[in-house]
Amino acid sequence: MNPRKTLTGTLTATLTAPLTAIGAALLLSSTIAVADANSAQSDAVQVPSLKVKERLQSIEQINVTSEKTVQDIQVESQAVANLLEEADQLDQLDTAATDRPDK
């Protein structure tokens, strides 16, 4: 075994390893960045041929009605839970009709 060759090999490996690693990291990061940019682009909508007024009118015709059942999720913050309890008490005093029933 040639000791000079072994030394050169070790040196080359020591010098190229970090460069290879950095290069791989840059490649990976850029791949992820490009993928993210592409996914964001796919949401883009632009229809210049249609007038803004027509689009606004069609938006106005959409009937937004969907109702969701209130979920009984416990509030993590005690301060918020206390405030909500206080609000319930005030609402019961002021109006029984506007409390939202659990559906």
CA distance 3 to 22: 29
Binding mask 1-40 for another protein (x = CB under 8 A): ------------xx--xx-xxx-xx--xx--x---x---x
Amino acid at 80: V
DSSP letter assigned to residue 96: S
CB of 85 to another protein, least distance (A): 11
CB of 30 to another protein, least distance (A): 12
Residues with Cβ within 8 Å of 55's Cβ and at least 6 positions away in sequence, in order, are 47
* Nearer Cβ to another protein (8/55): 55
* Nearer Cβ to another protein (2/95): 95
Amino acid at 10: T
CA 55 to chain centroid: 27
| Secondary element (H or E) of residue 12 | helix 3-41
- Which residues of the shown chain bind another protein in the complex (CB under 8 A)? 13-14, 17-18, 20-22, 24-25, 28-29, 32, 36, 40, 43-47, 50, 52-53, 55-56, 58-73, 75-77, 79-80, 83-84, 86-88, 90-91, 94-95, 97-101, 103
